[in-house]
Chains A and B, each alone.
Chain A
Amino acid sequence: MRFRITVMAGVATLAGSLGLYPLFERSGWFWAGFGAVLAVGGAGLLARRLRLPALVNLLFGLVGLLLYLNLAYAASESWFVLPSPASVRHLVDLGENGWLAANRYAAPVPLLPGIELLVAAGVGLVAVLVDLLAVRLRRAAPAGLPLLAMYSVPAAVREDGVNWLAFGAGAFGFLALLMADAREQVGGWGRMVTSYHRQREVPLAGAAPPAEPAVRPDAAALAATGRRIALGAVAVAVLVPAAVPGLQPRGMLGMGGGAGGGTQTVTTPDPLVSLKRELTRLDDSVVLTYKTDDPDGPDYLRLYALDKFDGDRWTYSPLQSSAKDRLDGRDLPAPPGLSVASVREVTTRVHVRSEVKDMTFLPVPYAPSRVSVKGDWRVHGPSLMLYSLRDSAGGRDYIVRSLRARPTAAQLAAAGTYPAEVVAHYTAVPRNVPPQVRQLAQQITSGSSSALTQAVRLQRWFTQTGGFSYDLKAPAPQRGGDLADFLLHSRRGYCEQFAASMALMARILGIPSRVAMGYTPGSEVRPGEWVVRSRDAHAWPELYFEGSGWVRFEPTPAGAAGQGTAVAPGYSLPAVSAGGGSDGGTAETPDTSSPTDAESPSPSPSARHRNDEGGEEAATGQDGKKGGFTAAPWVAGAVLILLLLAVPMGLRMFTRRRRWAALTSPPKPRPRAPASQAAWDDPAAGAAHAAWREMRADALDHGLEWRASDSPRATARRLGELLELDAAGAQALTRIARAEELARYSLSRPAEPPERLRADVRTVREAFAASVGRRARWRARLLPPSTMTQTGTALRTAGNRALDVTARLNDLPARIRRR
């Protein structure tokens, strides 16, 4: 029958199935698997009861699983408990539904009946295999393979892997199975004598003789060692990834991004590549049509917000997606930074043409507040990008309600300080940006200190004064040098270069910026109805102004000689008109008196992060953070390790100091203790004891053997012979030993003053150090084993307790059976 190991196989399977938890939204799936495991275990037991061959054992397991599934999911169609054709069909349908659902949803999936059936079947199949391998074929170790397969499902689906608790449960389940198997194999040779952690010193303590004659072979120590190794392996497997800074996929490669449980990274083709492709399409096909109620003409439709400039190109930080990001008809997060500027609510009804493929982001006017769309669409909170993990926007109709900020130039000019996290995230400039570009940015905006005037001057420079020409044939910028070439030499490009350059220059000037990508409003075919074609694909910079949020600028030349449907926003225009000659524009009002501006800076310049001056340093700092290989954590880690390493040494010094300090303080008058007690408590004896302990610690530190069964004089004799001490050392050693001996065993007190003993201990320590190798000497200084043994003892005690508990747990099935 092998009842116990059958139970352990089931437990191991269930524990392994715990690792599936990130796949599901609710926890009911576990019970589905539980029932399946029970059914399989019962069938296996029956097969073994009847002493059937292994193949039949396998069949029994499968039949048991089928019966269970039939009973649990198709009971109404079945004949009593036996599956009927109808119930089997029902099961198949349910399974297909589950399969479809599993493919439709990203993890975590809702626990539909079909999915539950799949879970039960999958866990049950694993249980069948484990039962066959571990119980019938007595190969517990290979039974780990199906368990591992089940285990790796969530790890494969979810990038962030499995909670360590679930991992630990699975690992311990498998270990328990292995242990039960080993026990069973040993048990084949006779009855197993269970022994809990027994004090091996019992015969020596002399108090009570052991209850049973100790004639059994000492297998307990071996078993304990095995458990220790297993425990250690699991602990290492759990702790090391948590402790080592670089083993997570993120952080190491500098991808940053938000962490968080149960998330998934969204990957899409490079948006900029698809932009160029769309712009150069010959057919200029219609991408989407939309209706808008915005009387002023619609805003751009945005797909992506590229918040990261890696030195070569703009990309967006990896999106960590989880179920809570679903749209589900609820309101989206408020647009960041939008508080002061007036807002108009705009409703846009969009129809994306069904020919459009692979559009996994929804083009919407910024800033969407509510979106009604079918399918699994999610929102990225900080940027308000809308995306799907598997659905495409092609052929969809959706309604977007968006908040269109309408900041005035005055509001932008009076914008408050940037929040720190915006500064940290959106003003990072990589180190490899050429100094000429930095100089250029300063040069263009020289004389203006407010963010708005700088932005307006930049836009004006790009569109008018800089001598740029719009050229779709220009190669897409691949590397940072291409952008510099565009700015400094060629000055030919299309929206990508313009948007990227302006955003970069804004960052150089300390203005938070990002590159948005999507479509221009397109062309109005009927009042309120607009058509967007592939040539309307566009990229533009967005700059952040506190109070107004992300504000669009348009550095790309518009009109026939540029991006045909691009529109410069109103707030950027006054300055453009003013920039022609006079400085009377509203936007430039604060700019006219730059000295005063410098003296009484706008609200709080320090927090404003104007990196005009300290641009390099600030950028470097940002750089370090974004560049991936961040020095600070490593330095901190190194310091931490050094500190940890210094702990034993510090402990040792502390103990030494404390021992001697207790002596130098005047002895307190104490009540008469009984004679035996007085021997330990006497101050003179205390000095001897302190010296002796100190010498013992030194000997241990230097790796010298210290026998507990040696008396002081025997120890002194042995050490003296071992170390071949010179006369002074030998005398010191003898003095310490004699003092200790007197203190311990004699009525007379040692006559040596503590100072003398202390000096003796020092002499002996030097003798120790001289007698051992360099390695041992350094170890004695840096990692004194005497302090380690204390810690080791404490840890061992704790470990033994834990092992006792596991041993008892192991015996539980047997004990229950015996009752």
Chain B
Amino acid sequence: MAVGTHGESFMETDPPSSRTARRGGPPPAASGPGLDGLVQVANKIRDAVESVIEGKPAVVRLALTVLLAEGHLLIEDVPGVGKTMLAKALARSVDCSVRRVQFTPDLLPSDITGVSAYNQEMREFEFKPGPVFANIVVGDEINRASPKTQSALLECMEERQVTVDGTTYELEPPFMVISTQNPVEMEGTYPLPEAQRDRFTARISMGYPDPAAEMEMLDTHGQASPLDRLSPVAHASDVRDLIEVVRRQHVSQAVRQYAIDLVGATRGHPELRLGASPRATLHLVRAARAYAALDDRDYVVPDDVQDLAVPVLAHRLLPTAEAQVDRRRPEQVVADLVKRLPVPSPGK
């Protein structure tokens, strides 16, 4: 078994308290919290995460949105802006099982999914679940692993199940993969294949903190890691309830059409070689539901879709060679589309 290059183990097991809720936990009560409860819980999680990641409310909100939308998050930014910190803070603020995988070039698929090992006592093969069997999986530097290993995540991310040696193991909700990748250091990396990227609901970049936030960060990080002080503010079952609430969010026909139009517009766009998939539409609407719920609304407005369009769509798009020469990034293309596409209104 390969060992991570970093000092810490590439697998990190969470406190045992969370393990109870890991597999086969009781299903969430049907009478979960309403929208108000959701907002309360969500605010608690947000506050917890923001106590670690300072000055990035939009990023935190997006991360939370993806969590509630049953999606996966790809955080892409230069080193040292707190990608991993965000992932870990989010993971830790929810009292659920969290695994962290440090992707390295020699990481094997079975290192992620788990292996069947022969149990000599029982005289049978026994499945040793990999780190993917957790509620939140933090994949650090995902583009450092070989494509073979990266694609080990394909099945579990989309189908929420793992198949090893012909046996399929269900993953327990909530299940969320938070991956980070570094866009600058390209030496020895394997860019994520399109199929893999398409499975991430959203890609966000942290961006540098503003000077005030950075100053405050110096203060807090001076004494001890704020992550250590972070205690879970919500239970995994709470998150499951929240997801249920989000699923019940109303999306009007007009907004659905708007999402379809927006995604469709990327497909024929002259500056894009590859447009967004129907899965992107699904993710977009799902994320919009969560986004609206976080805004304490029981219906989705086009603004939600507009706000989410760039993080949800941009990483799935491939610009044409001309657009690349013109330094047109897919983010700009999507932003332009959002500006141009009329919002649905009656009488049209």
Contacts and interface: CB of A to CB of B under 8 A. Distances in A.
Interface in B321-348: 337-347
A355 B37 CA distance: 121
Contact of A747 (B250, B337, B341, B347): B250
Interface string B293-306: 00000111111001
Contact of A711 (B250, B252, B303, B339): B303
Given A676-B252, A676-B253, A746-B252, A206 B301 contact: no
B260 A203 contact: no
Contacts of B265: 203-204, 206
B191 to A, nearest CB: 25
A555 B260 CA distance: 97
Contacts of B263: 206
B193 interface: no
B57 interface: no
Interface in B239-285: 250, 252-255, 260-265, 267-270
Contacts, number: 87
A746 B254 CA distance: 10
Nearest to B297: A746
Contacts of B252: 676, 679, 744-746
Assign chain B's interface to a size class. 20 to 34
A215 B343 contact: no
Contacts of A693: 347
Interface in A709-744: 709-714, 741-744
Interface in A191-206: 202-206
Given A206-B261, A680-B346, A709-B341, A746 B303 contact: no
Chain A at the B interface: SS class: helix
Contact of B267 (A206, A680, A744): A206
Contact of B264 (A207, A679, A692, A709): A207
A742 B297 CA distance: 10
A209 interface: yes
Given A204-B340, A711-B303, A745-B302, A689 B270 contact: no
Contact of A709 (B298, B301, B338, B347): B338
A629 to B, nearest CB: 51
With most chain B CB atoms within 10 A of its CB, the pick from A202, A214, A711, A743 is A711
Nearest to A207: B264
A746 B260 CA distance: 18
A419 interface: no
Given A204-B261, A206-B263, A689-B347, A745 B255 contact: yes
Given A213-B270, A746-B252, A711 B302 contact: yes
Contacts of B298: 746-748
Contacts of B264: 205-207
Contact of B299 (A204, A207, A713, A745): A745
A708 B346 contact: no
Contact of A710 (B260, B261, B268, B343): B343
A113 interface: no
A393 to B, nearest CB: 77
Contacts of A210: 268
Given A203-B268, A207-B264, A676-B253, A744 B346 contact: yes
Contact of B306 (A676, A679, A680, A711): A711
Interface size on A, as a range, is 35 or more
Contact of B254 (A205, A215, A713, A744): A744
Contacts of A742: 299
B302 to A, nearest CB: 4
Nearest to A689: B346
Interface string A689-708: 10011000000000000011
Interface string B11-49: 000000000000000000000000000000000000000
Nearest to B338: A709
B267 A746 contact: no
Contacts of B300: 745
Nearest to B263: A206
B253 A203 contact: no
A746 B250 contact: yes
A493 B261 CA distance: 95
Contact of A679 (B253, B262, B302, B343): B253
Given A206-B260, A741-B301, A708 B253 contact: no
Given A206-B260, A206-B263, A745-B254, A215 B270 contact: yes
Interface in A110-143: none
Contacts of A214: 270
Contacts of A743: 346
Contacts of B262: 206
Contacts of A741: 301
Contacts of A707: 339
Interface string B134-152: 0000000000000000000
B139 to A, nearest CB: 33
Contact of A713 (B260, B303, B344, B346): B303
Contacts of B260: 206
Nearest to A744: B254
A327 B343 CA distance: 75
A711 B343 contact: yes
A79 to B, nearest CB: 66
A680 B348 CA distance: 11
Contacts of B250: 745-747
Given A205-B261, A213-B270, A708 B344 contact: no
A503 B303 CA distance: 87
A742 B339 CA distance: 22
Nearest to A745: B252
Contacts of B267: 206, 209
A679 B256 CA distance: 14
Contacts of A709: 306, 338-343
Nearest to A676: B253
Contacts of B337: 204
Contacts of A744: 252, 254, 344-346
Contacts of A676: 252-254
Contacts of A205: 261, 264
A624 B299 CA distance: 73
Interface in A729-780: 741-748
Nearest to A693: B347
A653 to B, nearest CB: 20
A204 B346 contact: no
Contacts of A685: 346
A202 B261 CA distance: 11
Contact of A708 (B261, B270, B303, B343): B343
B309 to A, nearest CB: 11
Contact of B301 (A203, A215, A745): A745
Given A709-B343, A711-B306, A746-B299, 19 more contacts: A204-B340, A204-B341, A206-B267, A213-B270, A680-B347, A693-B347, A708-B342, A708-B343, A709-B338, A710-B343, A711-B303, A712-B301, A713-B301, A713-B303, A743-B346, A744-B252, A744-B254, A745-B250, A748-B298
17 contacts: A206-B267, A210-B268, A680-B346, A685-B346, A707-B339, A708-B342, A709-B306, A709-B338, A709-B339, A709-B341, A711-B303, A714-B306, A742-B299, A744-B252, A744-B344, A745-B255, A745-B302
Q: Give the 7 A-B CB pairs with smallest separation, nearest first.
A: A206-B264, A708-B342, A209-B268, A746-B299, A676-B253, A711-B302, A203-B268
